[in-house]
Chains A and B, each alone.
Chain A
Amino acid sequence: KNQVEQSPQSLIILEGKNCTLQCNYTVSPFSNLRWYKQDTGRGPVSLTIMTFSENTKSNGRYTATLDADTKQSSLHITASQLSDSASYICVVTMLSGTYKYIFGTGTRLKVLA
């Protein structure tokens, strides 16, 4: 079954600290993997996209990694800010006739002052 699992479910950190969010997927055939940030009550906003051949992609303080062999990805947030408080969603694009987004369950991050 095509699934995307994320951990932890929620995370609380202090401002300025780093954190890493995990994503494991069983989606096949794989096209690409995206990390989205979703603020409460808003639509998801894309942070990074990685294809099969890419191991790392950075966007400011966000760095995503992908290990296509183990089907794992991580999102590392450096020097967290209060505005990083949001849900972070791992989305895998599957190619099965048409492209289809498979959404993860998300990690809810809370950054405290």
Chain B
Amino acid sequence: EPEVTQTPSHQVTQMGQEVILRCVPISNHLYFYWYRQILGQKVEFLVSFYNNEISEKSEIFDDQFSVERPDGSNFTLKIRSTKLEDSAMYFCASSEGTGEYGYTFGSGTRLTVV
């Protein structure tokens, strides 16, 4: 069954450093998403991406965050200057369409900012 692949599975970084989280969505999917889950809390929406541009973003997705689809397969989330409160599990998801189409989530990247 097709999967969404995320790398790395775990990243530790120092506060103030830049990190790039990588995702390979399912090949025929058109919509891409990033979510995060702080330990013990619910999953939160960060951003959705369609047709090579951001279609929607949440309040969490401030100027420190950016997304990119540098080629036909990868979808990245960059955090420019990490803060302690950025420590969370980051999930990438993709879908064929919207509405009735479900999302397929990756296994996540656990980001620890020290």
Q: Which residues of A does B touch, CB under 8 Å?
A: 31-32, 34, 41-46, 49, 51, 89, 93, 95, 98-101, 103-106
Q: Given the interface contacts A98-B56, A106-B42, does A43 sit within 8 Å of B99 by beta carbon?
A: no
Picked from A34, A103, A106, the residue with its CB within 8 Å of the CB of B102 is A34
Give Cα distance in the complex from A41 to B4, angstroms.
15
Residues on B with C-beta less than 8 A from A44 are 43, 91, 105
Partner of A101, one of B4, B45, B100: B45
Our pick among B98, B107, B108 for the contact of A99 (Cβ within 8 Å) is: B98
Say yes or no: A32 contacts B42, CB within 8 Å. no
* The residue from B56, B91, B107 contacting A100, defined by CB atoms under 8 A apart: B56
Residues from chain A with Cβ under 8 Å of B22 in the complex: none
Q: In the complex, which residues of chain B have a beta carbon less than 8 angstroms from the beta carbon of A46?
A: 102-103
Residues from chain A with a CB closer than 8 A to the CB of B100 are 31-32, 49, 51
B41 contact set on A, CB distance < 8 A = 105
Give 8 closest A-B pairs by Cβ, nearest first: A43-B105, A99-B98, A103-B43, A105-B42, A46-B102, A103-B42, A99-B99, A43-B91
Chain A residues, CB < 8 A from B45:
100-101, 103
CB closest residue in chain A, given B44: A103
Question: Residues of B within 8 Å of A, CB-based: how many?
Answer: 22
Is A43 touching B110 in the complex (CB atoms < 8 A)?
no
Asked, given contacts A89-B43, A103-B42, whether A98 binds B55 with beta carbons under 8 Å apart, the answer is: yes
Q: Give the docked Cα–Cα distance between A46 and B104 (Å).
A: 8
Instruction: Give the residues in chain A near B87, CB-CB below 8 Å.
Output: none
Chain B 46-65 interface residues, beta-carbon cutoff 8 Å to A:
48, 55-56
CA–CA, A101 and B103, complex, Å? 10
Give complex CA distance A35, B79 in Å: 30
Chain B residue at minimum C-beta to C-beta distance from A4: B42
Bound together, the chains give a CA A34 to CA B61 distance in angstroms of 25
B45 → chain A, closest Cβ, in Å?
7
What A residues does B55 contact at CB under 8 A?
Answer: 98
Tell me, yes or no, whether B25 is within 8 Å of chain A by CB: no
